[in-house]
Amino acid sequence: MRFVHPVKNLKSRLTVVITALVFVSSVLLALAALTLAEREMAGLVGDREFALLSSAAGHLERDLDAKRTLLRAIAEGAHPDSLAEPGAVQAYLERHGTLREQFFNVVAFDASGTLVASLTDRRQIGTFSGADRPYFTQTVSAHEGIVSQPFRSKLSGRPVVLLTEPVYDAAGRLVVILAGGIDLGQPSFLGQLEPLKPGRSGYLFLLAPDGTILHHPDTRRILRKVSEEAGGVMPTTQRALAGFEGWSRAPTKAGVDALIGYKRVPSTGWIVGIVYPAAEAFAPLIALRRAAMLPTTLLALLAGLLGWLAIHRLLRPLETLRTQIARVERGEADIDVLDLSRRDEVGALSRAFHSLTRLRARADEEMARLARTDSLTGLHNRRVFEAELDKALLRANRSGSRVAVAYLDIDRFKQINDTHGHATGDLVLVEFARRLRATVRVTDTVARQAGDEFVVLFEHLGASEELAALGRKIVEAMRPAFLADSIDLAVTTSVGLAVAAPGIGRDALLRQADEALYAAKAAGRDGYRVVPPPPLDTANTLAH
Ligand SMILES: Nc1nc2c(ncn2[C@@H]2O[C@H](COP(=O)(O)OP(=O)(O)OP(=O)(O)O)[C@@H](O)[C@H]2O)c(=O)[nH]1
């Protein structure tokens, strides 16, 4: 049996294809399901984060509101005239301990901008002037309390935002401006956002409307403007500064894939932001994806194994057919060993192979027959005659029986061709062959040697005279007129006959017969000549 390389083997290839298909489709299915789940989950997580963000913004809003309300209440509760006394403002502020709970520090400036009170540090009272500070000038021009831009306090050196509240006397003159400071670096205010941060490394941050960072886990960035930082403003931040509120999935400045949300604090325009790294947000899904790979691979392997078994079983008849064909090829079985009754493709293949083999055998037979036959007369050809003669000579040598050959040539055949045409000549050849065949025994081998030359092999000859009688018989058989194309033609033949001497070869014997034929022709044609001549007086006779 011929070895079939495993990779070229149909079973192996089908198994590989099935395994690969199952694997790819399982992986694609799992990925599609996980991607859908991830999208769904992103929506849920994003919405939840945004809700968190909104509550953080609401919390800041309420906290700022509470601080402003407190500061306003204290400003309104003061008697402007009594505040004119030196130390009166300081004393007034100190009477309101709740201010310390709400603010990092509360200071007061007189109408000229001079610091007149400070809850936490009194050292610069009377010397420090806030007259040129934006929070002072803006409050003066606004005639009401403001929330300042974030800045680094000259008094404390800390990053702060100030809430201000002016106090006017009955005549409408500015008496003092109270300013409550919120320390952006202290947990008391923005630090309250910390518990809301998502995941392990997620965080919240706060931006002023102009992009100044008010709060960030990296405290070095506080008071910096995002537009002035290395790397510039990220597109998502840019959108938020332009008014966008909501969440999207985008990389952070540090290149971390994250869910990023933004929400404004209405009263100040501050933007609360949240960053939730996707790796943490989707951690369960990522774990699920990893966990899904093993069952998927096992499933594909199992499908491959089952596929191999199924294929093995389904292809078994094909394997049987292959084995049977190999046996037929080796000559160990007949073509009928094939199962032609199957109703599937293997049956069709068997029938096709069977009929092809039969057809081929018939064609081979026909080829062999044509190779042995003279196509015009249907007699044996020269090759067959020579082979038969060789065998007959061998047999004769062994058995001592007598073998002879007759060499015939139609007399003046060229003339028949020339006079009546080649086609008529062919008809004469056919009729000549028929008469010759009919004249000798069926066991004698008759062949067309070439052109108008014929040969006959006689075996088991009796007396020598018998050969002469045969020669005569042949000559006489040709004498009746040949009817060819409605024309009566007189056709005669000359025959040379030779008896095989013991041990003579084929060519020598044929040469002898040919020489006898030549002699018969020379003697006037329409006769025969036998060599060696028969011993009796009939010998060497040219018969007419
Ligand atoms: N019609 C036909 N003619 C053939 C065929 N094969 C050979 N011939 C012709 O047969 C003729 C044979 O002539 P030869 O045997 O040489 O001479 P001949 O005319 O028979 O004269 P002798 O043999 O001397 O009696 C030639 O003209 C060949 O062309 C054939 O298959 N068909």
Q: What does the pLDDT average to over 384-410?
A: 94
Residue 206 forms part of a structural domain: no
Residue 89 forms part of a structural domain: yes
**Quick one: 390 and 473 in the same domain?**
yes
**Quick one: 413 and 503 in the same domain?**
yes
CA 435 to ligand 1 center in whole angstroms = 18
Residue pLDDT, tens place only, 305-320: 887 888 888 888 888 8
- Write out 104-152 in H/E/C secondary structure: CEEEEEECCCEEEEECCCCCCCCCCECCCCHHHHHHHHHCCCCECCCEE
- Write out 374-402 in H/E/C secondary structure: CCCCCCECHHHHHHHHHHHHHHHHHHCCC
What range does the domain containing 357 cover? 321-369
In b/e form, how buried is each residue of 344-364, taking b as 16+ CB within 10 angstroms? eebbebbeebbeeeeeeeeee
Residue with CA at minimum distance from ligand 1 atom 5:
451
Q: What does the pLDDT average to over 211-223?
A: 86
Backbone angles phi, psi at 405, to 5 degrees: -125, 150
Amino acid at 103: F
Q: What does the pLDDT average to over 156-173?
A: 90
Distance of CA 386 to CAs 30, 330, 433, Å? 81, 32, 18
Q: Which residues line ligand 1 (CB under 6 A)?
A: 376, 409-415, 417, 422, 425-426, 429, 451-452, 521
CA dihedral sign of residues 180, 181, 186, 191: positive
Task: Count how many domains the chain has.
Answer: 3
Q: What does the pLDDT average to over 494-521?
A: 95
**Quick one: 393 and 494 in the same domain?**
yes
Of 164, 183, 202, the position where a domain reaches its end is: 183
**What confidence score (pLDDT) does residue 97 get?**
82
What token pair was written down for 343? 């109703």
Residue with CA at minimum distance from ligand 1 atom 7:
451
Residue 486 forms part of a structural domain: yes
**Quick one: 348 and 421 in the same domain?**
no
CATH number at residue 150: 3.30.450.20
In b/e form, how buried is each residue of 159-186, taking b as 16+ CB within 10 angstroms? bbbbbbbbbeeeeeebbbbbbbbbbbee
Active site residue ranges:
452
Residue 465 forms part of a structural domain: yes
Give the mutation target among 408, 452, 518 for probing the ligand 1 site: most ligand atoms within 8 A of CB: 452
Residue pLDDT, tens place only, 21-66: 877 887 788 778 878 887 887 788 888 888 888 888 888 888 889 9
Provide the whole-model pTM.
Answer: 0.52
Tally DSSP H helices, then E strands, for the chain.
Answer: 14, 17
DSSP-derived 3-state class of residue 273: strand
**What confidence score (pLDDT) does residue 354 get?**
83
**Quick one: 361 and 463 in the same domain?**
no
Residue with CA at minimum distance from ligand 1 atom 1:
425
Do the beta carbons of residue 49 and residue 259 sit within 8 Å? yes
Residue 332 forms part of a structural domain: yes
Do the beta carbons of residue 385 and residue 408 sit within 8 Å? no
**Quick one: 391 and 508 in the same domain?**
yes
368: left (phi over 0), alpha (psi -120 to 50) or beta: alpha
Average pLDDT, the chain: 87
Closest by Cα among 543, 521, 272, 265 to 408? 521
**Quick one: 507 and 397 in the same domain?**
yes
Confidence check: pLDDT of 131 > 50: yes
Residue with CA at minimum distance from ligand 1 atom 26:
414
Residue 356 forms part of a structural domain: yes
Distance in angstroms (rounded) separating the CA atoms of residues 203 and 217: 7
Q: What does the pLDDT average to over 173-180?
A: 94
Residue 98 forms part of a structural domain: yes
Instruction: For the chain, give percent helix, strand, coil, nearest 5.
Output: 50, 20, 30
**What confidence score (pLDDT) does residue 254 get?**
85
**Quick one: 424 and 327 in the same domain?**
no
- Write out 442-481 in H/E/C secondary structure: CCCEEEEEECCEEEEEECCCCCCHHHHHHHHHHHHHHCCC
The band of 6, judged by pLDDT with boundaries at 50, 70 and 90, is: low
DSSP-derived 3-state class of residue 323: helix
Q: What does the pLDDT average to over 108-135?
A: 92
Task: Tally the residues of the chain.
Answer: 544
**Quick one: 349 and 438 in the same domain?**
no
**Quick one: 406 and 466 in the same domain?**
yes
End-to-end CA distance of the chain: 69
Distance in angstroms (rounded) separating the CA atoms of residues 543 and 521: 12
Residue 246 forms part of a structural domain: no
CA 489 to ligand 1 center in whole angstroms = 15
CA 410 to ligand 1 center in whole angstroms = 8
**Quick one: 496 and 467 in the same domain?**
yes
Of 140, 155, 183, the position where a domain reaches its end is: 183
Give the mutation target among 377, 413, 489, 495 for probing the ligand 1 site: most ligand atoms within 8 A of CB: 413
Confidence check: pLDDT of 195 > 60: yes
The band of 536, judged by pLDDT with boundaries at 50, 70 and 90, is: very low
The band of 539, judged by pLDDT with boundaries at 50, 70 and 90, is: very low
Distance in angstroms (rounded) separating the CA atoms of residues 484 and 427: 6
Do the beta carbons of residue 246 and residue 185 sit within 8 Å? no
Of 183, 213, 235, the position where a domain reaches its end is: 183
CATH number at residue 396: 3.30.70.270
Residue with CA at minimum distance from ligand 1 atom 13:
414
Q: What does the pLDDT average to over 64-83?
A: 89
CA 452 to ligand 1 center in whole angstroms = 5
Q: Among the atoms of ligand 1, which is closest to the Cα of residue 494? A: 25
237: left (phi over 0), alpha (psi -120 to 50) or beta: alpha
**Quick one: 519 and 424 in the same domain?**
yes
